[in-house]
C-alpha cells in the first residue's frame, strides 16, 4: 500500500511536454556555437577554424561529463517510474558531486596540456595560437559545464524540461551580449576577438549554474538533502557507471573518430577545415528534432522500464522513431534547397560556399541514418542496454568511418565529399543494426531498478 502511494506521487509527463523544451534547449545550445562562428567570421577565417578545432576538445570533455549525466537520467527516470522517490533523490545528489570532481580534474588537465592536444591537428601557427588562447579560458571553467549538464539531466528526468530550457535561454542571451561587447568593442571595451568569445562563454555558463541550482531547490518535489551530496553509495555509483561508462565509451569512440576525421581534413588544407566548421554548424540544426525526441523518449522509456511496462516502452520507441524521421526529412529538404544562401551567412568565400553546398546536399542521405542512431540508442540506454551501442560504435566508426574517409578523401582525392560519404556509411550501418537490436527485445532483461518499499 505504501509502495502504491509512492507510485502515484509521480505523474509521467507526455512526450510533447518533455520534447518541445528539449528541442528549444538543443536549438539554443547549437545556436550558441553558430553565433560564435558567425561573429568570429567578422574577425577572420583563422579565428573560426581555431574555435572549431578547440571545440572538438571542449565537446570531448563535455561528453565525459555526460556519462554521469546520462546515467543519472536513466536511473532517476527508472526509479521514478518504479515509485522509488528516495532512491531518485539520492542518485541526484551523488551525481552532482561526482561530476564536480570530474569537472575540476578535467579543467586542470585541459589547461595544462592544451598545447599538446592541439599539436595533434597539424594546425598552422596562427590557428594554433588562437586555439590556445580560447582553451586557456574555456578549459579552466569546464567544471561549470559539468555541474550544468548534471543539474539539467535531473530536472528533465523529473519532468521539468521547460525549466532547463529557460536556463538555456538565459545563458544564450548573456553569451550573445558578451560576444557583442568583447568582439565589437561596445561600451568602450577593447576588441578581444577570440579571447572575448571565451570570456563570454565562461561567464554565461557560471551564471547558468547558479540559476539551475536555484531551480533544483525550488522545483523538485522531494528536495536533495545535504547528506545526499556526500553519501557516495557504492550501489548507486555502480549503477550510474553501468549506464554512464558505456555511454561515455560510445561518445569517446565518436569523438576520437571525429578528431581523426578532423586530422584527415587538415591534410586537405586550411580551407577544408573552415568549410567543415561552417557546414557542420548548419547540419547540426538538421539533427534537432531527432535529438529532442531521443532525449524525451529516453526519459519515457526509462519510466516504463522502471514500472515493468516493456510493451509500452517498445511501442514508445517505434512511435518516436517514426516522428523523428518525418521531422528530420521535413527540416533537411528546405535547408538543402537554400544551402548556398545559408553558407553565404557565414562567408563570402566562393570556394567554401561551393564545396559546402555539396556536403549539405549529401545531408539528405546522412541525416535519416543519424536519426536512427540518436533515437534508438537513447532508448536502449534508458532500458539499461548500454554496452551494445558502444561495441557497435567502435566497429562502425573505426572499422568503416575513419578508414573509408582516408581512402576516399585522401587516397582517391575525393576531398570533403569522400569524407562525407564515409559519415553516411557509418551512420546507416549503425542505425540499421540498432533498429534490429531494439526489435529483438534483448533489452527487457537489463532494468537497473530493484522494487523495494521505502520512505522519503
Q: What value does the mean pLDDT take over residues 353-375? A: 92
Q: What value does the mean pLDDT take over residues 223-245? A: 84
Question: pLDDT value at position 438?
Answer: 95
Better-predicted residue by pLDDT, 64 or 163: 163
Please measure the distance between the N-terminal and C-terminal CA atoms of the chain and give it in whole angstroms.
Answer: 15
Q: What value does the mean pLDDT take over residues 82-93? A: 86
Question: pLDDT value at position 6?
Answer: 43
Question: pLDDT value at position 450?
Answer: 60
DSSP state of 279: H
Question: pLDDT value at position 33?
Answer: 65
Residue ranges of domains in the chain: 14-440
Least confident of 55-59, 159-163, 350-354, 428-432: 55-59
Query: Is pLDDT above 50 for 455?
Result: no
Distance CA 183, CA 292 (A): 32
Question: pLDDT value at position 53?
Answer: 80
Query: Is pLDDT above 90 for 131?
Result: no
Q: 257 is written with which cell numbers?
A: 573518430
Question: pLDDT value at position 248?
Answer: 75
Q: Can you spell out the DSSP letters for 65-86?
A: HHHHHHHHHHHHHHHHHTT-HH
3-state helix, strand, coil in the chain (%, to 5): 85, 0, 15
Question: pLDDT value at position 246?
Answer: 85
Query: Is pLDDT above 70 for 451?
Result: no
Q: What value does the mean pLDDT take over residues 443-456? A: 63
Enumerate long-range contacts of 339-348, CB under 8 Å, 24 or more apart: 339/282, 342/282, 343/278, 343/279, 343/282, 345/38, 346/37, 346/38, 346/41, 346/48, 346/278, 346/281, 347/41, 347/45, 347/274, 347/278
Q: What value does the mean pLDDT take over residues 48-64? A: 78
Query: Which residue carries 551523488 as its cell?
Result: 94
Q: 384 is written with which cell numbers?
A: 539499461
Least confident of 84-98, 179-193, 336-350: 179-193
Question: pLDDT value at position 11?
Answer: 63
Sequence-distant (6+) residues with CB within 8 A of 52 are 37, 273, 274, 276, 277, 280
Distance CA 93, CA 72 (A): 10
Cβ pair 357, 340 in contact under 8 A: yes
Distance CA 291, CA 304 (A): 20
Question: pLDDT value at position 366?
Answer: 93
Q: What value does the mean pLDDT take over residues 401-425? A: 93
What distances in angstroms separate CA 3 from CA 6, 76, 84, 222, one per listed residue? 5, 17, 8, 16
Total residue count of the chain as it appears in this document: 456
Question: pLDDT value at position 150?
Answer: 92
What distances in angstroms separate CA 52 from CA 64, 135, 199, 289, 344, one per listed residue? 19, 11, 16, 23, 18
pLDDT band per the 50, 70, 90 thresholds, residue 376: very high
Query: Is pLDDT above 70 for 4?
Result: no
What distances in angstroms separate CA 131 from CA 69, 104, 388, one per listed residue? 28, 21, 36
Distance CA 87, CA 186 (A): 50
Cβ pair 174, 203 in contact under 8 A: yes
Residues 252-311: tens digit of each pLDDT: 888 789 888 888 988 888 888 888 888 887 888 788 888 888 888 888 898 888 888 899
Q: Can you spell out the DSSP letters for 344-384?
A: HHH---HHHHHHHHHHHHHHHHHHHHHHHHHHHHHHHHHTT
| Max avg pLDDT among 179-188, 224-233, 422-431 | 422-431
Amino acid at each position: 500500500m505504501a509502495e502504491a502511494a509512492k507510485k502515484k506521487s509521480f505523474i509521467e509527463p507526455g512526450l510533447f511536454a518533455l520534447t518541445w523544451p528539449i528541442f528549444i534547449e538543443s536549438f539554443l545550445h547549437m545556436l550558441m556555437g553558430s553565433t560564435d562562428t558567425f561573429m568570429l567570421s567578422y574577425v577572420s577565417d583563422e579565428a573560426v577554424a581555431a574555435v572549431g578545432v578547440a571545440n572538438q576538445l571542449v565537446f570531448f570533455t563535455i561528453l565525459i561529463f555526460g556519462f554521469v549525466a546520462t546515467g543519472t537520467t536513466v536511473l532517476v527516470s527508472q526509479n521514478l517510474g518504479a515509485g522509488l522517490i528516495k532512491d531518485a533523490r539520492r542518485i541526484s545528489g551523488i551525481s552532482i558531486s561526482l561530476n564536480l570532481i570530474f569537472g575540476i580534474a578535467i579543467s586542470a588537465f585541459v589547461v595544462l596540456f592544451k598545447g599538446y592536444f592541439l599539436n595533434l591537428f597539424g594546425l598552422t601557427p596562427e590557428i594554433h595560437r588562437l586555439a590556445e588562447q580560447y582553451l586557456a579560458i574555456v578549459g579552466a571553467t569546464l567544471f561549470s559545464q559539468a555541474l550544468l549538464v548534471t543539474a539539467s539531466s535531473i530536472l528533465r528526468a523529473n519532468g521539468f524540461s521547460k525549466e532547463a530550457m529557460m536556463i538555456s535561454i538565459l545563458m544564450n542571451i548573456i553569451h550573445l551580449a558578451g560576444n557583442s561587447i568583447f568582439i565589437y568593442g561596445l561600451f568602450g571595451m577593447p576588441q578581444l576577438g577570440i579571447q572575448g568569445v571565451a570570456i563570454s562563454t565562461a561567464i554565461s555558463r557560471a551564471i547558468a549554474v547558479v540559476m539551475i541550482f536555484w531551480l533544483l531547490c525550488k522545483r523538485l518535489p522531494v528536495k536533495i538533502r545535504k547528506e545526499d551530496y556526500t553519501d557516495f553509495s557504492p550501489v548507486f555509483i555502480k549503477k550510474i557507471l553501468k549506464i554512464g561508462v558505456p555511454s561515455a565509451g560510445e561518445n569517446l569512440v565518436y569523438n576520437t573518430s571525429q578528431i581523426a576525421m578532423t586530422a584527415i581534413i587538415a591534410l586537405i588544407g586550411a580551407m577544408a577545415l573552415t568549410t567543415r566548421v561552417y557546414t557542420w554548424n548548419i547540419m547540426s540544426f538538421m539533427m534537432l528534432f531527432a535529438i529532442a525526441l531521443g532525449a524525451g523518449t529516453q526519459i519515457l522509456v526509462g519510466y516504463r522500464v522502471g514500472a515493468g511496462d516493456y510493451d509500452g516502452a517498445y511501442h514508445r520507441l517505434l512511435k518516436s522513431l517514426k516522428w523523428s524521421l518525418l521531422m528530420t526529412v521535413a527540416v533537411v529538404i528546405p535547408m538543402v534547397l537554400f544551402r548556398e544562401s545559408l553558407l553565404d551567412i557565414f562567408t563570402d568565400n566562393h570556394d567554401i560556399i561551393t564545396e559546402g553546398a555539396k556536403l549539405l546536399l549529401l545531408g539528405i542521405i546522412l541525416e535519416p541514418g543519424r536519426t536512427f542512431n540518436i533515437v534508438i540508442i537513447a532508448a536502449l540506454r534508458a532500458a539499461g542496454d548500454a554496452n551494445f551501442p558502444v561495441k557497435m560504435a567502435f566497429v562502425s566508426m573505426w572499422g568503416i568511418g575513419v578508414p573509408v574517409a582516408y581512402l576516399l578523401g585522401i587516397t582517391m582525392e575525393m576531398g570533403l565529399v569522400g569524407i562525407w560519404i564515409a559519415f553516411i556509411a557509418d551512420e546507416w550501418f549503425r542505425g540499421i543494426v540498432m533498429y534490429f537490436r531494439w526489435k529483438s527485445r534483448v533489452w527487457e532483461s537489463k532494468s537497473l531498478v530493484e522494487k523495494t518499499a521505502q520512505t522519503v
